[in-house]
A = this chain, B = another copy of it.
């Protein structure tokens, strides 16, 4: 079902400062910046590596407002790991399989993610407190 760890996402107050920190410390490059109004975030993707099934990234997230999901996360828990995303060949198929196991989906159907991907989130309460995303990368990526 999973082909790779697509990305880990880090919530932060100051996207530009964290881009600088992570790129300089770990010798990484920003490959995409986006504002996702639907999710209430501005974000950057820092490439870790390419792989046969797709690439892997650190995703940095800054909330667009305090009452967005990431804004609330920061108010409650502070900066740090926000979610993990796994690469799948077909996000709709993976959603069906996972839902059939009794894990609730936060999305009823796939929606647009970073860099042209199709994504869906799974309920953290059904996965040991771990907010989990499924990612079907846009091809070619």
Which A residues, 41 to 94, have Cβ-Cβ distances below 8 Å to chain B?
48-49, 51-53, 56, 77-84, 86
Does A130 touch B at the CB level, under 8 Å? Answer: yes
- Offer 13 A-B interface pairs, CB within 8 angstroms, sorted by A: A1-B27, A2-B26, A2-B48, A4-B49, A5-B5, A5-B8, A8-B81, A21-B128, A22-B127, A25-B101, A27-B97, A78-B129, A80-B128
B80 in contact with A12 (CB, 8 Å)? no
A129 in contact with B79 (CB, 8 Å)? yes
Residues of B within 8 A of A129 (CB): 10, 78-81
- Bound form: Cα–Cα A128–B56 in Å: 19
Cβ-closest 7 pairs across A and B: A80-B129, A79-B129, A81-B81, A5-B5, A79-B128, A25-B101, A8-B84
B86 in contact with A25 (CB, 8 Å)? no
Which A residues, 8 to 50, have Cβ-Cβ distances below 8 Å to chain B?
8, 10, 12, 18, 21-22, 24-28, 48-49
- Bound form: Cα–Cα A49–B51 in Å: 10
Interface size on A, residues (CB 8 A): 42
**Contact status of A26 and B56, CB under 8 A, knowing A21-B127, A128-B12:** no
- Bound form: Cα–Cα A71–B2 in Å: 29
Closest residue of chain B to A5 (Cβ to Cβ) is B5
Does A138 touch B at the CB level, under 8 Å? Answer: no
